Structure 1
Amino acid sequence: MTQEALETALTRAERALARIERVAEQVGRRGDGEERLRERVRTAIAELDQIIRKVEA
């Protein structure tokens, strides 16, 4: 994997983690949406898994 591709993958990972943090804050303030949070975390983790697989290839 090229340096540029690695940087792009890391940027995507950082954005996914930021989304998780934002949703966690929103759910924490409202006290609801636990299942929605779980779904969004699953989606973000799946994206991170894809990034890791690309980096390992």
Structure 2
Amino acid sequence: WLWLAVDSIFGKVLGFVCGRRTIKTGRVLWQQIKHLPTMGYGTDLLKDYENFIPHAKH
């Protein structure tokens, strides 16, 4: 899988990682983007996201 974090307004890639669709891979991407200011994150609602994306932002 290619995991991407994309700015929804400007379309800029903010981070990416290639790997399986697992918590471990998700955390690698999360480390790349967690410091960036955001109102929230849009996802496909994979349950594993709750292990690294704060509930209030998801």
Determine if the TM-score, normalized by the shorter chain, exceeds 0.5.
Answer: no
Structure (1/2) with the larger helix percentage: 1
The TM-score normalised by the length of structure 1 is 0.27
The TM-score normalised by the length of structure 2 is 0.27
Structure (1/2) with the larger strand percentage: 2
Higher Rg: 1
